[in-house]
Chains A and B, each alone.
Chain A
Amino acid sequence: MKKIVAALAACLVASAVQAEDYPAETVTIVVPYSAGGVTDSYARMIQPALQERWGQTVIVENKPGSGSMVGAMDVARADPDGTRILMTAYGVISNEVLMPDIPFDLADLSPVYMLGRGSNMLIMRPDYPMDDITDIVAWAKEHPGELKLASSGVGASPHIAAELLANVAGFDFLHIPYQGSAPSRLDVIAGRVDGMMDGISSVAYVESGDIKAIALAAEERHPSLPDVPTFKEKGIDFVFGTIFGFYVPKDTPQEVQDEIFAALDAALHVPETEALLNKQGMDTTRRTQAEFQEIVAKELDQLKELVAKGRLTPQ
């Protein structure tokens, strides 16, 4: 009975919102992280273009908490009329698998637009004896649990990246979690851990010689690091990066979702914006909504596999 009422209510709301007069009121982009973070900066970067296109006020609202779950839940429970849009990173996908007990279901959200995919690279301490990923993997296989890889936290994307790499290449490492990427990076620089999976933003430390970049978890080499090979070149089928995307409540009318898609696509595929994103290591290949949904589903499967193999433990 409840479901029928809910479905009826959804139909009513849906018919009330017409795509041609969307948005009829202020649109809020909910960022489940604090102001000043990467995700927040991307949301604010596109806010003016959306405002101009829609002729409505567009607000970026930061709703941090519980590893991005507070903001995700907020949008999942909002009216499905496209006035509250979630812009988030990898947490919304990984927490679905890693935190099954929280009162949030990724299925309550509809993935609309994929801004892009960040790239990760394996960085090692400056005095690490090996430079080639093949040698490192061989050594790690011979010495299971001895390679010390740091991460910005349990279940954070650098941790997942390291586990995925270990899974693909077939070795075990010692995971050393930190609270945030800054302190973990500092311990790589100081040589207290062997290395970590890090975003392309650590390129500044590669240039200054404070760390060594070993390999890139992307399809292609990055222009800022022309000498650093990809894992694929070295025969390891490993591509990983956090996924920045926009989500709306699942019952949002498709016409509204299409308009949001079109507006975001127009706002982001401006040469300067794309160049800036690419410089930060973001792969901004255009993807349809269906492709984005497929990517999310694929990520979920990958994570479930890691859980099944005991590499990740859900809470």
Chain B
Amino acid sequence: MSTILDNAMLGLGVAFQPYNLAFCFLGVFLGTILGVIPGIGVLVSISLLFPITFHVEPVAALVLLAGIYYGTTYGGSTSAILLNVPGTPSSAVACLDGHPMAQKGRAATALFMTTVASFFGGSVGIIMLMGFSPVIAASAVQFGSAEYFALMVLGLIAASTIASGSMLKGIAMVLIGILMGLVGSDVYTGTLRFTFGQMALFEGISIIALAMGIFGVTEVIHSVLNIKKAGEANHDLSFRAMLPTRQEMRDSWMPMIRGSMIGSFFGALPGTGGLIAAYMSYATEKRVGKTETFGKGAIQGVTGPESANNAADQTAFIPTLTLGIPGSPTMAIILGVLIIHGIEPGPMVVVNQPDLFWGLVMSFWVGNLMLLILNIPMVGLWVRLLRIPFHLMYPAILMFIVMGVLTTYNDEIQVWVVLICGAFGYLLRYLGMQAAPLILGFVLGPMMEEHFRRTLLLNGGDFTAFAGSAISQVCLGVSALLLVYGLFVTYRTRLRTVQAQRSVSSRNSQV
């Protein structure tokens, strides 16, 4: 324990150097702003600022890029809640209940609670990072393709309830998402699938283009067509209006704790991350939550996923720094900083560069605290955004989406992909289908396929390999239980409806 304290003190010393402090503030500040703007996600922000890192010390460079990274997650939910346009793909879940809260005039509370939940999740993530990095890294190595596959099955089944309304439509959306995820070159053979000879589709449909199209552009089209309905809610901007009710506070604790745990887990696993964590947290809350208001502005649907994706942001550094295995493209860029400064990423970084590792980790505390202080006064400012006339607001959103996509890909074809996804999204919305399960299918589907085929490839086509370890047995077992339980519940409700109808009809016949 004392070593952790020693290391923490060493790290604090590094983090509190004025130079690093300044870079930390710059990072989280830019991150928040860039996160709020739809389209300009974390990958773009970090790529744009990456060249700066050639000219500064490695610790300062890492502190800056990491600050942008978790800062965008704080900011990403803001536009999701206020405008129903997620600032980053991982904040798409915040639309589900955050936006309904805003429509009810509770935007300030929703924003306040996301900031609190983000801070809570971030803190749990950092504690995991500080205390359990070696253990978590060792268990992340235990996850092979069979384990990932079992986990993805569990995820899809657990999340099948994520859509509000028709179950059938929800499943249809997951399937469409999986199909869209299969576009691009086959991981195992390089065969191009569903690309129609379009080079823009060789690497698949990008998650950024899809999320921005299906949430952002769709929302703009929808709002233009329903312009009269907009702006009905009156927003109280006083500090008191921002505070949650006692009941909301009580309802938020457990989702925040569960969300942080879920987030810490998925963040630490290479390949998964904030987006999947947020979905899983939402699905969990929807199952355990005793409220019928999910999808209509349930606070649990905001605080759970928000703490999950922020916790995931912090624990994503565990495989990156302790194993040198980046779990996402963003983490790969952050590792790039080390390479440029002549530090080989790998298992020895923590040992050989303790001041770098602990300085960075302690800067996360500083950064999260800064974000908390920075974001709460900003709530009023953000809510005021809603007073901007829509004829200015929506063109601006479209402009930012196009800018974001262009800066990410530097290729105008991707703008067309966004617009087509937007038109498709509007069609789905018109038909009463929800986009959230589609995104989940889009992310999980290709991963499931990849791990399914790799498991068979590695084991010579032996299907028993899927249940070869305790991890996969538990995941598959829980999935089976969830399925049986789901069928049982459906059967029971149907039985009750039938019985109720019968008793009504028999009573009617008696009369």
The interface residues of chain B lying within 8 Å CB-to-CB of A63 are 410-411
Closest B residue to A179 by beta carbon equals B187
Distance in Å: Cβ of A182 to nearest Cβ of chain B: 5
Q: Are B141 and A186 in contact (CB under 8 A)?
A: yes
B88, CB-defined interface residue at 8 Å: no
Q: Are A313 and B190 in contact (CB under 8 A)?
A: yes
Q: Are B325 and A154 in contact (CB under 8 A)?
A: no
Q: How far is the CA of A34 from the CA of B331 in the complex (A)?
A: 13
A69, CB-defined interface residue at 8 Å: yes
Closest B residue to A146 by beta carbon equals B460
Binds B, one of A189-197, A285-293, A300-308: A189-197
Query: Given A187-B144, A192-B144, A201-B339, are A36 and B187 also a contact pair (CB < 8 Å)?
Result: no
The interface residues of chain B lying within 8 Å CB-to-CB of A153 are 187
Q: How far is the CA of A67 from the CA of B253 in the complex (A)?
A: 46
Query: Given A67-B202, A148-B458, A201-B339, are A35 and B347 also a contact pair (CB < 8 Å)?
Result: no
Closest B residue to A156 by beta carbon equals B190
Distance in Å: Cβ of B56 to nearest Cβ of chain A: 14
Contact of A60 among B51, B337, B409 (CB under 8 A): B51
A168, CB-defined interface residue at 8 Å: no
Binds B, one of A1-9, A37-45, A111-119: A37-45
Q: Are A183 and B270 in contact (CB under 8 A)?
A: yes
Q: Are A35 and B51 in contact (CB under 8 A)?
A: yes
Q: Are B142 and A34 in contact (CB under 8 A)?
A: no
Contact of B142 among A66, A190, A208 (CB under 8 A): A190
Q: How far is the CA of A279 from the CA of B344 in the complex (A)?
A: 10
B188, CB-defined interface residue at 8 Å: yes
The interface residues of chain A lying within 8 Å CB-to-CB of B192 are 315
The interface residues of chain B lying within 8 Å CB-to-CB of A36 are 46-47, 50, 332-334, 336-337
Question: Which residues of A (164-178) have their CB < 8 Å from a CB of B?
Answer: 174, 176-178
Closest B residue to A104 by beta carbon equals B199
Closest A residue to B343 by beta carbon equals A204
Q: Are A176 and B454 in contact (CB under 8 A)?
A: yes
Q: Are B141 and A189 in contact (CB under 8 A)?
A: yes
Contact of A279 among B189, B199, B342, B454 (CB under 8 A): B342
Query: Given A67-B203, A154-B188, A182-B270, are A37 and B336 also a contact pair (CB < 8 Å)?
Result: yes
B348, CB-defined interface residue at 8 Å: yes
A135, CB-defined interface residue at 8 Å: no
Q: How far is the CA of A185 from the CA of B335 in the complex (A)?
A: 15
The interface residues of chain B lying within 8 Å CB-to-CB of A148 are 458
Q: How far is the CA of A246 from the CA of B48 in the complex (A)?
A: 23
B105, CB-defined interface residue at 8 Å: no
Q: Are A70 and B339 in contact (CB under 8 A)?
A: no
The interface residues of chain B lying within 8 Å CB-to-CB of A205 are 324, 346-347
Distance in Å: Cβ of A194 to nearest Cβ of chain B: 10
A267, CB-defined interface residue at 8 Å: no
Q: Are A207 and B187 in contact (CB under 8 A)?
A: no
A210, CB-defined interface residue at 8 Å: yes
Q: How far is the CA of A160 from the CA of B497 in the complex (A)?
A: 62
The interface residues of chain B lying within 8 Å CB-to-CB of A154 are 185-190
The interface residues of chain A lying within 8 Å CB-to-CB of B197 are 101
B18, CB-defined interface residue at 8 Å: no
The interface residues of chain A lying within 8 Å CB-to-CB of B54 are 44-45
B2, CB-defined interface residue at 8 Å: no
B326, CB-defined interface residue at 8 Å: yes
A140, CB-defined interface residue at 8 Å: no
Q: Contact mask A24-40 → B, CB, 8 Å, 1/0?
A: 00000000001111101
Contact of B450 among A41, A69, A179, A187 (CB under 8 A): A179
The interface residues of chain B lying within 8 Å CB-to-CB of A69 are 199, 202
Q: Are B190 and A155 in contact (CB under 8 A)?
A: yes
Q: Contact mask B327-358 → A, CB, 8 Å, 1/0?
A: 10100111011011010111111000000000
The interface residues of chain B lying within 8 Å CB-to-CB of A186 are 141, 270, 323, 325
Q: Are B344 and A204 in contact (CB under 8 A)?
A: yes
Closest B residue to A34 by beta carbon equals B47
Q: Are A182 and B326 in contact (CB under 8 A)?
A: yes
Q: How far is the CA of A68 from the CA of B53 in the complex (A)?
A: 24
The interface residues of chain A lying within 8 Å CB-to-CB of B464 are none
Q: Which of B326, B327, B347, B410 has the most C-beta atoms of chain A within 10 angstroms of its own C-beta?
A: B410
Q: How far is the CA of A202 from the CA of B349 in the complex (A)?
A: 13
Q: Are B187 and A177 in contact (CB under 8 A)?
A: yes
Q: Contact mask B182-210 → A, CB, 8 Å, 1/0?
A: 00011111111000010110110000000
B134, CB-defined interface residue at 8 Å: no
B145, CB-defined interface residue at 8 Å: yes
Contact of B50 among A35, A66, A178, A190 (CB under 8 A): A35
Q: Are A102 and B199 in contact (CB under 8 A)?
A: yes
Query: Given A41-B339, A182-B270, are A315 and B50 also a contact pair (CB < 8 Å)?
Result: no
Q: How far is the CA of A279 from the CA of B329 in the complex (A)?
A: 25
B486, CB-defined interface residue at 8 Å: no
Q: How far is the CA of A133 from the CA of B333 in the complex (A)?
A: 34
Q: How far is the CA of A315 from the CA of B260 in the complex (A)?
A: 44
Distance in Å: Cβ of A270 to nearest Cβ of chain B: 16
A85, CB-defined interface residue at 8 Å: no
The interface residues of chain A lying within 8 Å CB-to-CB of B339 are 38, 41, 201, 280
B457, CB-defined interface residue at 8 Å: yes
Chain A residues with CB under 8 Å of chain B are 34-38, 40-41, 44-45, 60-67, 69-70, 98, 101-103, 148, 153-155, 174, 176-180, 182-183, 185-187, 189-190, 192-193, 201-205, 207-208, 210, 276, 279-280, 313, 315
A-B contacts besides A35-B333, A65-B200, A176-B457, 17 pairs, CB < 8 Å:
A34-B329, A35-B47, A35-B50, A40-B336, A41-B340, A66-B202, A67-B203, A102-B199, A103-B199, A174-B457, A177-B188, A180-B332, A182-B326, A182-B332, A183-B270, A204-B347, A204-B348
A selection of 9 A-B contacts at a CB cut-off of 8 Å is A63-B411, A66-B203, A69-B199, A103-B199, A178-B454, A182-B325, A192-B144, A192-B458, A205-B346
Closest 4 CB pairs of A and B: A204-B346, A36-B333, A36-B336, A154-B190
